[in-house]
Amino acid sequence: MKTFKLVSLDLVEEKAEDITQRRIKLIDGLIINREDDKGRWVIEAYVDQSYQSFFEEYVKSEEELLVQVKITKETNQPATFLVKAIDTNNISENMNVLFMGTIVDRRQDQIEKTLKLLIEEGYQGEELLEEFKKRGSNNNKN
């Protein structure tokens, strides 16, 4: 297992077809790569107890959540995870919430979206490959 410092946690919520990010104010946190055969990670967020009822609802519902986290330092790119809140614990005047889930490979998702768009635009065969390479190199310049 590998353990890293959790420096930010955002919940990605979908409400009425709008996608919003809710920043969770951390006191502290850890993220652990379990390195198991399912590729699972544990996220432990140490937060103010005012979040208790909010997170307990997610624990009860067993609903999957999309979260974005920054690991080690604030300047790092966020990593996206599909998780479930599995437990909350009161710790003095604060609490922790535990999530377990898997990392979402956003590059793979972007590749699939680009390919789907090109196919919908009618590209195929060698032409599809060339246009995909062209758009891929344009995306890397941004």
Quick one: 18 and 67 in the same domain?
Answer: yes
For residue 41, what is the domain's CATH number? 2.30.110
Give the tens place of pLDDT for each residue, 3-51.
999 999 999 887 766 778 899 999 999 999 998 998 899 999 999 999 9
- The structure tokens listed for 5 are 């410092």
Its pTM stands at 0.73
Amino acid 137: pLDDT: 56
Residues 130 and 15: their CA atoms lie apart, in Å, by 38
Residues 142 and 133: their CA atoms lie apart, in Å, by 15
Quick one: 22 and 68 in the same domain?
Answer: yes
Q: How many CA atoms lie within 13 A of 139 on its CB side?
A: 11
Give the per-residue SS3 of 102-123: EEECHHHHHHHHHHHHHHHCCC
Number of domains in the chain: 2
- Please give the average per-residue pLDDT across 103-110, as a whole number: 72
Amino acid 13: pLDDT: 80
Amino acid 129: pLDDT: 75
Give the tens place of pLDDT for each residue, 52-103.
999 999 999 999 998 999 999 999 988 989 999 999 999 999 999 999 999 9
Quick one: 89 and 115 in the same domain?
Answer: no
Count of CB atoms situated within 10 Å of the CB of 96: 18
Quick one: 10 and 77 in the same domain?
Answer: yes
Task: For tokens 């055969």, name the residue.
Answer: 37
